[in-house]
Amino acid sequence: MLNIRKKASSSSIGAAGVFVLSLTAGFMLTGTNMAGTASFADISLAGALDLPASAAVLTGSIVRSIIERNVGKNIVKIAAMIIIVIAKMFFEPKNEPKLCGITTAVSVFISGAAVSAIIGEVLYKLLFYAFYGALAGFTSYSGAVIIMGLKRQLVLDLSSASGCAYAIVYTIIIASLCSIKTPVINIGIIFGVTVTLFAAYYYRHIGGVLCGALTTCGAFIASTSCGMSVVLLPAAGLLTGYLYKVRSWITAVFFGGLCFMLTVLTGITQNSIYSMLDIISGALIFAAVSPAYSDKWVMTSMDCTAALPELLGSRMNFLADSIETVRKESGKISEMLSRNTSRDNEIGSNSSTVCSNCFRRHICWKSDYDRTMRGFRSLSRQSEITKESFPYELDECLHKDELSEVFEKSAQEKATAKLLEMRFADSQRLLHEQIKIMEEIIETAGERIDVRYSEPISKVIRDKLRKFDFSPKNVIAYYNSQNRLLVELYFAYSDAPESFTRICDLISDELRIPLDSAEPVHSGKELRIRLYERPEYSIEVYGASMCAENSKENGDTSMVFSDGTGISYVILSDGMGSGKNAAIESRLVVRMFRKLISSGVNYSSAIKLINSIMVTKSRDEAFATLDAVRIDLDKCGLTVIKSGASATLIRHRGSVMKISSPTFPIGIYEQSDTFSKSYDFEEGDIIIMFSDGIDEAEYLFIKELLLSGSELKHIVDEICAKAEVFNQTARSDDVTVIGVKVTKS
Domain ranges of the chain: 15-181, 185-293, 303-336+447-532, 537-744
Q: What is the pTM of this model?
A: 0.67
Helix (H), strand (E) at residue 81 = helix 75-91
Q: pLDDT tier at 6 (50, 70, 90 boundaries)?
A: very low
Averaged pLDDT, 518-541: 90
pLDDT at 689 over 90: yes
Helix (H), strand (E) at residue 190 = helix 187-222
Which residues does residue 544 pair with via DSSP β-bridges, in sequence order? 737
**Average per-residue pLDDT in the chain?**
82
Give the rounded percent of residues in the chain with a pLDDT score beyond 70. 84
pLDDT at 396 over 80: no
pLDDT at 111 over 50: yes
Which of 32-41, 492-501, 502-511 is modeled with the greatest confidence?
A: 502-511
Averaged pLDDT, 666-688: 86
Averaged pLDDT, 191-205: 90
Helix (H), strand (E) at residue 568 = strand 567-574
Does the domain at 537-744 match CATH 3.60.40.10? Answer given as yes
Reduce the DSSP state of residue 548 to 3 states and report it.
Answer: coil
Summarize pLDDT for 263-294 with one digit per residue, the tens.
877 776 667 778 889 999 999 999 999 888 88
Contact 612, 437 (CB under 8 A): yes
Averaged pLDDT, 468-473: 90
pLDDT at 344 over 50: no
What pLDDT is attached to residue 337?
Answer: 44
What pLDDT is attached to residue 339?
Answer: 45
pLDDT at 328 over 70: no
pLDDT at 739 over 90: yes
Hey, what long-range contacts does 694-700 have (CB within 8 A, 24 or more apart)? 694/646, 694/719, 694/723, 694/726, 694/727, 694/735, 694/737, 695/723, 695/726, 695/727, 695/728, 695/729, 696/647, 697/726, 697/727, 697/728, 698/722, 698/723, 698/726, 698/727, 699/647, 699/649, 699/658
pLDDT at 412 over 80: no
What pLDDT is attached to residue 534?
Answer: 92
pLDDT at 537 over 60: yes
pLDDT at 309 over 90: no
Lowest mean pLDDT among 369-378, 533-542, 632-641: 369-378
Which of 604, 545, 558 is closest to 723 using CA atoms? Answer: 545
What pLDDT is attached to residue 7?
Answer: 44
Q: pLDDT tier at 464 (50, 70, 90 boundaries)?
A: very high
Q: pLDDT tier at 2 (50, 70, 90 boundaries)?
A: very low
DSSP strand E in 660-727: where?
Answer: 675-679, 686-690
Contact 548, 575 (CB under 8 A): no
533 or 493, which is more confident: 533
Lowest mean pLDDT among 86-95, 458-467, 497-506: 86-95
Contact 533, 486 (CB under 8 A): yes
Give the rounded percent of residues in the chain with a pLDDT score beyond 90. 24
Summarize pLDDT for 67-82 with one digit per residue, the tens.
888 888 888 888 889 9
Averaged pLDDT, 553-575: 90
253 or 440, which is more confident: 253
338 or 257, which is more confident: 257
Question: Is the backbone of residue 452 left (phi > 0), alpha (psi -120 to 50) or beta?
Answer: beta
Averaged pLDDT, 372-396: 78
Averaged pLDDT, 131-149: 89
Q: pLDDT tier at 504 (50, 70, 90 boundaries)?
A: very high
What pLDDT is attached to residue 90?
Answer: 80
For residues 505-541, b (16+ Cβ closer than 10 Å) or e, as one string? ebbbeebeeebebbebbbbeebbbbbbbbebebebeb
Q: What is the DSSP letter of 683?
A: T
**Spatial distance between the Cα atoms of 450 and 479, rounded to a whole number of angstroms:** 9
Averaged pLDDT, 564-589: 86
